[in-house]
Amino acid sequence: MSVLIERKRSDRRSLPIEAVTPATLAAARKRLSAAQKRWLDEWAFEAAPGAQVLLADAGGKLARVLVGVDPADPLGALAGLPMSLPPGHYHLADEGVALDARQAALGWALGAYQFTRYRKPRRAPATLAVPAEDLEALAPLVEATVLVRDLVNTPTEDMGPEQLGDAVHKLGKAHKAKVRDWVGQELLKHNFPTIHAVGRASHREPRLVELTWGKQSHPKLVIVGKGVCFDTGGLDLKGSDGMRWMKKDMGGAAHAIALAGLVMDAKLPVRLTLLVPAVENAVSGNAMRPGEVITTRAGITVEVDNTDAEGRLILCDALAYASEQKPDLIVDFATLTGAARVALGPDLPALFANRDELAEAVLAAGKRTADPLWQLPLWRPYRKMLDSYLADMANAGASRHAGAITAALYLERFVPGSQAWMHLDTYAWNDGDRPGRPRGGEAMGLRAVFAWLQERYPR
């Protein structure tokens, strides 16, 4: 992890970064030379969060960095520095505002990310010295976030259903897990009809990829991720604006893959199953049509009201299969609805759970890890919005009200009430560049859920 290095504080090549606020700036000035104070004045540095100033010694060499911080946001404190400071080695100074050093280092690492598959890096990021124990704790989280970002940022031509499955196989090989696939017509043979229906129109065959790992004696955990590698909307075709970024519609699968990697890397005492239904929702002569009725794996008949509500269709077969295994817990991730973004904006994943205590624990973990979520209700009276006149239910309805809730209620029909289940409707994307959150694919809810799983299944 090149953006974080272990280096002794006594190393003269490592320059101190002092965190300051408007309230502590006066104390910081007392440690500076007259020339450095004049420099602060010339720059009108007032220690606003994110503001930074570079200070030279008497010989003109860079000697110290002051950065304005919000103590309530340690994750963002240093996140803007790795790509703005001169390349070199830095460390968090003992002087100044006391930050959560591990959170600050994580923010630094996330801010150093660059997606370089198709172009050279803009520049080398500055590196931050951290203690060995912090590096050990942070490395898996950074690598998991990078994996999510890389998978989501990759265009569909290079990240179709097969390539998304390859990511699962690569993960399985790294952790000596078992991986199997059901591809194309095999989905019908093994009773995954909705996954096949959504993906059949593409020249790239749909598939369900399953990874299994862990001891039989351990409680079973199933992680499911929506893997729509591109979503045209099907015959209910999206407009150009709505279709432009639909390479990211496999963001749920990216989260699920990364979370499974964290679980295995931490050797949590679970019997893990990862399920990734991977498809392209395309348009061709055999595309799924509005008005079709599909008998799902669970035996529930579904009328296709809208072919652009395809994510819940591929997930329902995966959730039914997961439920058959009677696990201790099912967690699914999906870039499922625009309605969740309208309700909560781009930064807050919508959390649904059929056990309030599960939701409360994950929300608390999100606060601790600076990875927030927001719970929305499984308001069951809204099930009527999914009524069908000729099938057990529809995959969508005429009302535009409560779209995130009705999508979650659709999924809930495929999970027995006795089964603990949690659903995250996540955006998996940053619309613009912010410190620590570069434009493009993003992990949202990943750290929170992993921290909670560490509590639920302690080693």
Catalytic residues: 238, 312
Question: What is d(CA 435, CA 445) in angstroms, rounded to the nearest whole number?
Answer: 18
If one counts every other C-beta atom within 10 angstroms of the C-beta of residue 319, the result is 28
Is the distance from CB of 200 to CB of 286 less than 8 angstroms? yes
Question: What is d(CA 288, CA 202) in angstroms, rounded to the nearest whole number?
Answer: 11
Name the percent of the chain in helix, strand, coil, to the closest 5: 35, 20, 40
Q: Which residue shows structure tokens 């699968």?
A: 253
Is the distance from CB of 279 to CB of 314 less than 8 angstroms? yes
Element (H, E) at 77: helix 74-77
CA distances from 295 to 69, 188, 299, 309 (A): 55, 11, 6, 16
434 burial level (CB within 10 Å; 0-12, 13-18, 19+): middle
If one counts every other C-beta atom within 10 angstroms of the C-beta of residue 173, the result is 10
DSSP for 124-164?
PPPEEE--HHHHHHHHHHHHHHHHHHHHHHS-GGGSSHHHH
Is the distance from CB of 350 to CB of 374 less than 8 angstroms? yes
Question: What is d(CA 220, CA 233) in angstroms, rounded to the nearest whole number?
Answer: 35
DSSP code, position 118: S
DSSP code, position 289: -
CA distances from 258 to 35, 147, 160, 255, 321 (A): 49, 7, 17, 5, 21
Distance between first and last Cα of the chain: 25
Helices and strands: H and E segment counts in the chain:
15, 20
